[in-house]
Structure 1
């Protein structure tokens, strides 16, 4: 015990001589998703959140995107822990790819830990994380940092803000939050702790910027409960299908409670919906009466107006439950005129087209669809402008960094900070990879570290600027041509040239073009054979060059050309 106290005292003395604190986001700045921020003080590092981002439209075949963690790998021995604010994908989704490489403890709620474990099992990493569960009000020491967990509200239970106590002062990191006076789970925001921190002095506030452009305050989740009551009462003669985020457990609780009051059985559709509800019920975050949830097979033998279907697909995900229903290919749930479909979510930026297409198909099935925001079927889990102002009033920070939002959100939030009295010179808009250093009572930018998106296809990592996307885009735009050539030792063809195309405007039916292509390949081979000292590995390049010359006569775009050369 004495040795431990001496070690802590040594750390305090060393940092007291020359304290220096650095904040470096590797994700979540200028974008929605893949939140990850690194805090460094002396030789101690901690990480807050480790999330993913869903792919953009032109990221063909990519499942999701995670932050580049090369900077963390370089400093692996100095990282003390990862702290999780809440269990949404954009805050925990990268952990199956990051944790096995860093091997550090994870401090989180029991719910977030369960969600992380489900993801670890899905990824089949074989790695067993060191979970250290926390509750609101807990304090955790990690090197020279002490992290305090503060209860706030979001669309998932156990959403924490973090008060990160450092030798230079306190950093308040809000995570995703809103100030909900009547939260669905009854856990109100901890205003008093935020006010206490403000009285003691907050060095830096890092705050959620997602809804900074929305005036007023975000409505309470209780509003949605009243809306469900109204629709269940109005549509007593119909089966009700509700699509929402699988992780929005507060809303799931309201739907299940409403179903029980109206004597309906609930059917869960979608792997993530089923897994999340089972986990939350097991951990005590959901109150699910016995017999309320039934299988889709059991529901087939019940009257339609005795059933509510809770499904994934609110974002138009191609293989989600709602989208399969809209296409008429879901194995258990077939939609028709006796169904009411409620989409209890708003599209994530970039998903608007997918959601619109899904809504159109649902109408084509004959179902009545409710998706408009005016119907109060969805409220955001993020603070609007008045709540962001209240966060400034409570914490009264000296410095401010907006986070969790697209670039325009960060700019608007920075403007709000100045309106709320934060000095303009003390407001910093960071990009992923930027390093903001605090020394004494000064802050300055000190350069960048490697940061960027890493693409995930299945469980395979790729690089954003590498060849993966470029090759996929080329094939998607112009198709593929495969040329097979068989040569003997003297570089003479011993079989006819084989040419196959996929997704190209050129096909085997175009005899004249294929004749030109075959002639071009043979010319390339003959010229190569006559070239003294030519190396075999350069022959594919010569074949591509000759084929492009043929295509250039009729097109400006060339298919992807793959020569396959066999030597016998």
Structure 2
């Protein structure tokens, strides 16, 4: 798939120079994280030098259990919107949702160039097409080894291995010093696509001198090294061999294209066809095949409805739902609600993923439902059916030792991950006073002498996305939904005559006592409404306030809490 007219692909030169002259050197460089600190997801940060900025990543995170009805959470980028004219470009490390997912909501407001690899830009293009199809992005395709000069910044892309192809780290050279952002990485010496983390580039930067290192903290609590993705392939092949007579259903992240490639290779060796289930699985695999990141013949694939009619030992189902997402392919199958695939005793289900923190209950519930369908389920961590895409403790040590930064700030992790990663950097010789555990919105100011200080804050936080509507994270919407969930709602409709007399009072409730169950209470509430209107004959708003007050007085005698009261006043 070639990119649209908005995409440039200047490959002959290894270095490209943006417009504008570099300003005179200034004293300080600022790094400002707007997301991804103390949380998993919502990664976005800014490097600022004078009146110039570059942004790294712009991701989302998925809602927590108490965020009732919320689809997505994206970073509050008010700071970027206010400084839109200063932004030279957004550099994307890789194509996971926690690094690109907010772009459809943010990019049209900023309208600045975006830099990323071919696959990453392809994924962003698909997301923009869903949310804002009329917007034409300014895409600039880069590859590992390329450098882009934009004003005072020279950004070098460095290959890193991750659980999605084409991951990048960035080394940003500025007049004050070099900043290295590792992105999400692991040190897999036998990656599926043969593209390893570029140790040489990091070592070279370490020799030249690095002012600030920003490093992925996700797996800092895991000792040792993260296993190679190939170990999962060996486990899957063994399961295929042991269960030759069963249909095999594999649930994994749609973005884990290396794992999908291994499934395709093993399916071909065992003469099985593959059915893809789940909208995101279909979209990722289709794009990856189109761009050449996944190699699989067209005749390997069959529609899901055909897979359910085939002999069990001749098909593999690759599906979404490894995190127990309510409307994903695997969860619908486990409930017996999937339109094409019906599970039973002939099926082996492999959940090839580890639950993301917060999803444990959803995954556990899905596993229980799968067993109730009669399936055999493989999900235990000790069976090597999943490996992480993030560096474990020894790999993080190696990266710090290669880069040898003067200052260090852990990124991409919950607060305990940041603290433990910061301690790791101190143990490896980074001066304690130059190791910074920051919060979203903190401003880290750096000098060419290798000194840093936390110097002020900018606005940062989270915005909830409910459908295509967006709102403040701490606004009244969530509060209202929690109150409705806990106490229900009671609507009161009052009909007034032309003289202001009460002609009729009707009540309707949801999530609260129904009138048939508490006739005496509802009668008392009706009398309270009439008294409220007699004592407050003025405008509708004051009358509504009086109604709420009188009704709450009655309800307080029956329970500690009371429902949300919605008065409606109509006049003849």
1:118 paired with 2:126, answer: yes
Q: Which runs of 4 or more aligned residues in structure 1 lie more than 4 Å from their structure 2 counterparts after TM superposition? A: 4-8
SS of 1:497's equivalent? strand
Match of 1:158? 166
How far off is 1:315 after superposition? 0.3
- The equivalent of 1:443 in structure 2 is 452
| Contact kept in structure 1, 2:177 and 2:448, CA below 8 Å | no
Could you tell me whether the CA contact under 8 Å between 2:540 and 2:569 is conserved in 1?
Answer: no
Cα deviation, residue 125, structure 1: 4.8
1:558 aligns with 2:562: yes
2:525 to 501, 517, 532: 517
Of the three residues 378, 403, 406, the one matched with 2:386 is 378
Q: Is the 1:500–1:508 Cα contact (8 Å) retained in structure 2?
A: no
**Which is worse superposed, 289-298 or 153-162?**
289-298
TM-score with structure 1 setting the length:
0.96
Q: 1:171 aligns with which of 156, 174, 179?
A: 179
CA offset digits 1:6-27 (Å, max 9, x no partner): 986x524x12xx3321000000
Gaps of 5+ in 1: none
Distance in structure 2 (CA, Å) of the matches to 1:178 and 1:6: 32
Match of 1:79 among 87, 94, 102: 87
The C-alpha deviation readout for 1:86-132, integer Å capped at 9, x for no partner, is 00000000000000000001101111111111111221452111111
Q: 2:322 aligns with which of 305, 314, 317?
A: 314
The whole-number CA distance in structure 2 between the counterparts of 1:425 and 1:520 is 65
- Residue aligned with 2:298, SS: coil
Local SS of the residue matching 1:411: helix
Instruction: Tell me the residue number matched to 1:212.
Output: 220
The answer to whether the 8 Å contact 1:96/1:125 transfers is no
The DSSP-based 3-state class of the residue aligned with 1:199 is helix
Q: Residues 178-217 of structure 1 correspond to what in structure 2 (within 5 A)?
A: 178-217=186-225
Please state how far the C-alpha of 1:262 moved relative to its aligned partner: 0.6
Match of 1:259 in 2: 267
1:197 counterpart SS class: helix
**Counterpart check, 1:469 vs 2:473:** no
Distance 1:60 1:440 in 2: 47
Maintained 8 Å contact 1:215/1:385: yes
| Number of the residue aligned with 2:151 | 143
In 2, Cα distance between equivalents of 1:5 and 1:220? 38
Inter-partner Cα distance in structure 2 for 1:100 and 1:488: 52
RMSD: 1.4
Once the two structures are superposed, what CA deviation does each residue of 1:383-435 show, in whole Å capped at 9, x if it has no partner?
Answer: 00000000011100000000000000000000000000000010000100000
2:402 matched to which residue of 1? 394
Partner SS for 2:371: helix
Looking at structure 2, the residues matched to 444 and 115 of structure 1 have their Cα atoms a distance apart, in angstroms, of 37
Residue pair 2:18, 2:148 contacting (<8 A) in 1 also: no
Aligned to 1:541: 545
Which of 233, 254, 279 is 1:246 aligned to? 254
CA offset at residue 565 of structure 1? 1.4
| 1:295-331 CA distance string (max 9 Å, x none) | 0122233211100000000000000000000001111
Q: Provide the rounded CA distance (Å) in 2 between the counterparts of 1:7 and 1:359.
A: 55
Distance 1:7 1:312 in 2: 44
DSSP 3-state at the match of 2:233: helix
Count of matched residue positions in the alignment of Structure 1 and Structure 2:
556
Q: Which runs of 5+ in 2 are unaligned?
A: 1-15
TM-score, with length taken from structure 2? 0.95
Note if contact 2:409-2:422 (Cα within 8 Å) is conserved in structure 1: yes
Give, in whole Å, the separation in 2 of the partners of 1:560 and 1:524: 17
Instruction: Give the deviation of 1:506 after TM superposition.
Output: 4.3
Provide, for residues 30-71 of structure 1, a one-character-per-residue CA deviation record: whole Å limited to 9, x for no partner. 000000001101100111000000101100000010000111
Q: Which whole-Å CA distance do the structure 2 matches of 1:328 and 1:5 have between them?
A: 57
> Which segment is superposed worse, 480-489 or 44-53?
480-489
2:332 aligned with 1:328: no
CA contact (8 A) 2:275 2:301 kept: yes
CA distance in 1, matches of 2:478, 2:18: 53
Which residue, out of 11, 24, 35, partners 2:22?
Answer: 11
Matched, 1:363 2:371: yes
